[in-house]
Every structure is written in C-alpha cells, then in structure tokens.
Structure 1
Amino acid sequence: MAETLPFLRNSYWILRHGKSIPNENGLIVSSMANGTLEEFGLAPEGIHQANLAGKLLDKELKTRNIPIETVQICYSPFSRTTHTAKIVADVLGISFKSCQCKAMIELRERFFGPLFELLSHDKYAEIWILDEKDPFTSVEGGESVADVCSRLSIALASLEAAYQGCNIVLVSHGDPLQIFQTILHAAKDKTSAQVDISSRIKQVMTHSILSQHRKFALLTAELRQIK
C-alpha cells in the first residue's frame, strides 16, 4: 500500500512535466493563452522522459501491490502537462478519456506576469529572489507564491472531498509542485486539532515557510511520492 499523510484521505504522487519546447528554447511560458498552445508542448526528449516516468510509476505501483483502479491522474491543462499525463496514462494502461484522468485548472503553471512572459528563463532567478523577500507579493500582473498556494489548497480540498483511499498523481509544473510540497511538508509537522485541510494549510502560509519553496525543486519528469 502507498503511504498516506495522517491528515489526508488519499496518497499523492507529483510529477513535473517532461522537458518542453519552452525548456529547450529557454523561454518562460506561463500564461494559459500561451501554455495551452501545441507549439509549447513537449520536446522529443520530454516525450522520452515522460515515458520513463510512467514506467517508474508503474513499477512502484506493482511493487506495492496498488491496484490500477485506485489511480487518479490529475493534470494542468497546459499542453506540456497534458501530453505528459497522457503518456503516463498510456504506460499504465489507463484510458485518457476515462474518469481516472482529469484536467484541473488549479494545477496550471504559476503565471509570472506579462513583464516576464516569453522572455528568457534566466529571469526566473529574479522572481525567486523576490519570493524569498516576500512570498505574498507578486511581480506586476503575476501570481505570488501565496496566490499559487491558495489555488493548490482548493485543488487538494476538492480531491480530498471527492476521493478516499486513492493514489492521486498530480502532473504539474516546477513552481506549483515546489509550493505544494512546501505546504504539505509544513502541514505534516503542524500539531493542530484542526482537521479541515484548507484551514490547516492557511496556518502554514507564513513568510518563513512559503519563501523556502525552492528547496523542493524538481527536475523535468521527476516523480516523487508525498510522504
């Protein structure tokens, strides 16, 4: 059986999308309008990476005797994450059109704002410096760490209400998955009688916690279990 955090009803796996064309070209593509374009999907290397991630997940599930029927794949609607999720589903033998696969807008890429959109990914360093100084403030028109945390909290609460005893694979992007790990890691250590997951996450949305999200960075197509 997969491990489950004591305050959650389900087990969670996270998977960053495979290497994308924006990754390959060194571009920031973070808006819904651009991110859903096919031209910003997976690069050939990313397709290969996604296939390997699917095989790794398949091996993990079989090793732990986890029935494939308990697996739910939830993914960002961006083209690079949708393609990654479909490849993983195919490897696992899950129909991408079935109820076991679901796009969730809350899992979308962090929008870094119009001042950074389609510019060099070298600009990420500037954003992360700002995150350390104040994770509650965003670059003009973009999302702060706290903004992303709030929508991920909505996604988690929705999944926890809809499923029990499932193994949920979240296919998303670098920053959202870093932030997701940050808040769950902090919530795990929170000694609170509060059982509501949204309230628990609000308790850990502090400067000292959110500003450290880079500690949980993932490589492209990296799979991790939340535990």
Structure 2
Amino acid sequence: MPPLKNTYLLMRHGHSLANEAGCIISHPDNGIHAYGLSNVGRAQLQQTLKDWLYPIPDRLLHSDFLRTTESAQCLAQHFNCPIEVNTLLRERCFGVYEQQSDQFYESVWAKDSAGLDVTAEGVESLERVAQRMHSVIEHCEATYADQTLVLVSHGDPLQILLTHLDGRALSEHRKRPSIAPAEITLIQ
C-alpha cells in the first residue's frame, strides 16, 4: 500500500448487548436497530476517552449497526467532530449462525484458518471483508488529506483489515491479538 495521506484510528465498538447475551448479531436486520452498547461498553468508551493518547480526530466514520453508531456518537460528542455512516464498515456476515451462540465464532475461525470456504453457510468470505474494508481507506485517501479519521467497526472486519494491511494471508487473521471492545489501533 502506498504511504497514507491520513492518520487512521481503527476502533472496535464498545461491549454490546449482543456480547452480553453471548449471541452473534451480524445481519443489518438485527444489528441496526437493536443490540446497542451495554453499560460495560459505555464505561469502556468513557475509559478510552479518559486515557486518550491519540491525535484528536477530525472525522468519524462508522458502521450503521447500533453498537458502532453509539460508540461513534460518544466520540463525536466528546471531540465535537463530524460523524458519518459507512455501511462498508459493517460486521462480517455470519450467515446461518446469525442469532446463535457466539461459540460458533470458533467454528468459523477454524475454517478460516484451514482455508475452507464458509460461503456455503452464508458466511461472508475473508476476501470480501478485506476488500470492502480496504475500499473505505481508499475512499478516505481520495477524499481527505492530513486528517485523523476514526473508523468505528467490529472485531472480525478490523482483524481482517489489519491482516490485509500487514500483507499476511487472510486465513491468519485470528493469529493477531484480538481487538478488545473500545480498543483503538493507530495506522499512519
């Protein structure tokens, strides 16, 4: 990837009601209007803001799921900066596992690591997730310059994007340390 014109802060949403319930919410029909932040998630965001060590954001882009929207709104209000929805930052679709136990993540990730095709189960491919996440950065690079942009998304898409940016095989995305709720990763 060529040198970036902008600074990117990749942020996973705070702990959500889906996390609290231990269920997979990856489809817009379920995630846009429900499963927002839990009380734990709200506290995590406040702690992230209290411990802020990053450049002050100029703009926030976020998935349209409620948990990412509420996370982004918290930051936008704190920093008094513009906020916009970008549906390409959505959660990875987990297909047949939607609204099932979050224990099914491990099954999908094992198949990812083995290079198996999970699309037959309706799970979004690693390549598709990497492509749409990377296209957000390409769009921002074409639109903005010398800006600090916060991209608020979900754990799996961010892991996959970081693996892609590292130039590693996407099947290795779970070899990266997991991104904690309300955690930020700086990319310059």
**Shorter-chain-normalised TM-score: which range?**
over 0.9
Among 132, 153, 173, the residue aligned to 1:213: 173
Q: Does 1:54 align with 2:49?
A: yes
The Cα shift of 1:139 comes to: 4.5
Looking at CA atoms only, which structure, 1 or 2, has the larger radius of gyration? 1
Normalising by structure 1, we get a TM-score of 0.77
Contact 1:30-1:117 within 8 A present in 2 as well: yes
Q: 1:18 to 1:139 in 2, by over 3 A?
A: farther
Q: Does 1:23 align with 2:19?
A: yes
Among 3, 28, 31, the residue aligned to 1:32: 28
Contact 2:91-2:157 within 8 A present in 1 as well: yes
CA distance in 2, matches of 1:7, 1:136: 33
Q: Name structure 2 gaps, 5 residues minimum.
A: none
Equivalent residue number for residue 202 of structure 1: none
Contact 2:111-2:117 within 8 A present in 1 as well: no
Q: Give the aligned residue type for 1:93.
A: N
Q: Give the aligned residue type for 1:17.
A: H
- After TM superposition, the runs of 4+ consecutive aligned structure 1 residues lying more than 6 A away are none
Among 148, 155, 175, the residue aligned to 1:167: 148
Q: Give the aligned residue type for 1:102.
A: E
Q: Does 1:108 align with 2:90?
A: yes
- State the identity %: 36
What SS does the aligned partner of 2:51 have? Answer: helix
The count of residues paired between Structure 1 and Structure 2 equals: 187
CA distance in 2, matches of 1:182, 1:144: 14
Contact 2:118-2:125 within 8 A present in 1 as well: yes
Q: Give the aligned residue type for 1:104.
A: N
Contact 2:108-2:118 within 8 A present in 1 as well: no
Equivalent residue number for residue 7 of structure 2: 11
Q: Does 1:87 align with 2:46?
A: no
The Cα shift of 1:154 comes to: 1.7
Normalising by structure 2, we get a TM-score of 0.92
Q: Give the aligned residue type for 2:154.
A: H
- Post-superposition Cα deviations, 1:10-53, rounded to whole Å, max 9, x if no partner, equal 11111100000000010000001101023x10001101111222
Q: Does 1:71 align with 2:58?
A: yes
Quote the RMSD (CA, aligned, Å). 1.8
CA distance in 2, matches of 1:135, 1:73: 35
What SS does the aligned partner of 1:212 have? Answer: helix
Q: 1:135 to 1:156 in 2, by over 3 A?
A: farther
